[in-house]
Amino acid sequence: MAFCQVSFFSRSLVVASSVYVILPEPNMGIGISASGGAELPQVLYLLHGYSDDHSIWMRRTSVERYAASHNLCVVMPAVNHSFYLNEAHGERYWDYVSEELPETMHQFFRLSDRPEDTYVAGLSMGGYGAMKLALTHPDRFQAAASFSGAVDLAGSYEQPGRFARYQNLFGSVSTIRDTDADLFYLLKQPSARRPKLYVSCGTADGLYPAHLRFCEALKKETWDPEASETEGAGHEWGLWDQEIRTFIEHYVK
């Protein structure tokens, strides 16, 4: 796989922005199998969590190796603490990740733009971002995944140590609940096309109760997700490395 660090000026953020991108190439090197073929690469937007940045998936997992046999480009943006939203008092990260980022990636690289070749996944805060993208734009994605996702944003608003930061990001809890920032609201909206959803969490994770509530709400609205719970696992990279491999192998063509 080819590895690129792309730096460009973002009109949404009005500042230079960095993105990590891994791209398929014909010769992968010893121990890595290539998918080959002349088709344009599929695209996975892979989102980081609250305390990390765009480099974390490359540093903590083998995602490059997992993507190699699927003709899959992986795009890893950085969004700071934004939850992939337009901040109440700050930057317009939703505009960036939902519109500007895919547009820019397709300008820079020869990638498939077909919905059936496009995927999104993330961990924790990135799990929320992946679900928001898939539920807001179901016509754009073949499948989406949340790993240990912070899927109940309104329910976690008063989390100790983050209340002041959340106020700066979102304003008040009333600006989340029953709005486009609330996944439970989004999943009730009608859509002609529904991507496949994979939602996973460890049973020892503090976000596990929110995971269960979200899975139940998805089933109630007939989204029919595939849910996975790993007994005894917490909020940890050993699990997320397994989960991104599972998602790529089971959902990416």
> Over the chain (253 residues), what is each successive 10-residue block's mean pLDDT?
96 97 78 63 97 97 95 97 91 97 97 97 98 98 98 75 72 80 94 94 96 96 95 98 98 94
**Residue 58 phi, psi dihedral angles, 5° rounding:** -75, -30
Length of the chain measured in residues:
253
Q: Is 108 helix (H, G, I), strand (E, B) or coil?
A: helix
Q: What is the pLDDT of residue 32?
A: 56
**Residue 107 phi, psi dihedral angles, 5° rounding:** -75, -40
Q: What is the pLDDT of residue 168?
A: 75
Please, what are the domains in the chain? 2-251 (3.40.50.1820)
Q: What is the pLDDT of residue 131?
A: 98
According to DSSP, the residues that pair with 73 across neighbouring strands are 43
Q: What is the pLDDT of residue 28?
A: 61
Q: Which of 176, 166, 120 is nearest to 147 (CA)?
A: 120
Q: Is 195 helix (H, G, I), strand (E, B) or coil?
A: coil
Q: What is the pLDDT of residue 210?
A: 95
Task: Say how far apart CA 199 and CA 242 lie, in whole Å.
Answer: 13
Q: What is the pLDDT of residue 12?
A: 98
pTM of the predicted model as reported, rounded to 2 decimal places: 0.94
Residues 6 or more apart whose CB falls under 8 angstroms from that of 78 comprise: 17, 18, 19, 48, 53, 54
Residues 6 or more apart whose CB falls under 8 angstroms from that of 98 comprise: 133, 136, 137
Q: What is the pLDDT of residue 175?
A: 73
Q: What is the pLDDT of residue 204?
A: 98
Q: What is the pLDDT of residue 165?
A: 73
Q: Which of 238, 245, 247 is nearest to 65 (CA)?
A: 245
Q: What is the pLDDT of residue 26?
A: 75
Q: What is the pLDDT of residue 34?
A: 57
Query: Which tokens in the block code for residue 208?
Result: 């596990």
Residues 6 or more apart whose CB falls under 8 angstroms from that of 145 comprise: 119, 120, 121, 122, 127, 130, 197, 198, 199, 200, 243, 244, 247, 251
Query: Which tokens in the block code for residue 143?
Result: 């499948």
